[in-house]
Structure 1
Amino acid sequence: MYLFTEYNSPYLFALSFVLLIGALEIISLTFGHFLSGVLDAHLDNYDSLSSGNIGQVLHFLNIGRIPSLVVLCLLAGYFGLFGILVQHGWTTLLQAPLSNLLLAPVCFIASVIAVHYSGKIIAPWIPRDESTAIAEDDYIGCMAMVTGHSAMAGMPCEGKFTDKFGQIHYLLLEPEEGHAFKKGDRVLIIYRLSATRYLAELNPWPNIL
């Protein structure tokens, strides 16, 4: 296997990115900073990134559950690994590399899917600040905002709320039978239906909250 060849360049670059981020994180820790924490705090300042299609993509990539820098490293790592392995198998069988114009998009899509599922697995193992962590059952009684287009009973959409520590949480919200939500509605979370789905009702105190 010829690793350092031209057709492996995009995938080697991705793996080099992972190594670079790891080195920068170690350097930042020596100066008392947490590089991934700085990036997450910066992203929180942009509300447009937490709603609509962009918000759904970030939620799919588990940004919010795990640090965004970890997500980037996983994405680059999977992309590089998939690309090199496929090129190795292809050249072994056919004695010629596969076009990266075809392979790179396929590897990227596969990497996004891999990040989605592996992120869920590693999320509970990533250290968090216990003083600002809340359990998912604690979402009940919180006021959230609907960020998806619409929701009906049995057909939830995405919503978000900010807890008392200033952390943003994303979840799926649906109304009771006979009611509907639209984007921008403020709702009260009243019951947990599953791991990510919650029953909610329209803000019962619109003149107060």
Structure 2
Amino acid sequence: MNWLLPAYETMWRVVLACVIELRFRNAENADIWCKELDEYISNPSREKYKGPAVTPGVRGFGANDIIKETLRLYPPTRHVYRRFTENGDDVKADIESCHRSSSFGSDPLRFQPERWLKIRAHLGSEKNDKDIKIIEEEHGFMPFAVFCPAGQGSTQGFGLKMIALLAGVICRKLGKSATWVLEGKEAYQDLTKPLPSARAAFDTLYLIEGT
């Protein structure tokens, strides 16, 4: 059992990281990101999630870009381990390092959802979801491994959309006012560095409503 990862627990950490990035790190485009997720939970359609078709074959910024960037920096499974029984060797795939490589730009440690617009620009004309996934995997992006059993048919993209809905609802509930304060966030204000990824990284954070 020590080789099994609690997937839903790790997904909640991804949601928390997304909320902190959008609401509590004071990024320049944070209001734009929050607005995009808020519009998505009001209209959770494929068109709204993928982004508007600005020109034939090219989509603009959408909730999909925010969630992909969250999963890029904070994959739910940072490392994948396999034990080979014949010789007892343990092999580790470092998903987190793949996601934070220079394949994603000159600033791979910064949370920047707009980078996915640049990645799509390299695709040329509109590709189907399968082709896009293959190209992203070639870049090293595989937050749910190469194959996800839940990523077929009507459940395709379920994990990404679940994060978008949960993070969007939480951000909406917090409201647009500055009365909410995240205690202990001072250590996370350097936008050139990602949030810590350890299991207990956020144990000392508290969300309180200011007076």
The structure with the greater share of residues assigned to helix is: 1
Is the TM value for this pair above 0.5?
no
TM-score (norm 1): 0.25
The structure with the greater share of residues assigned to strand is: 1
Give the number of the structure whose alpha-carbon radius of gyration is greater.
Answer: 1
TM-score (norm 2): 0.25
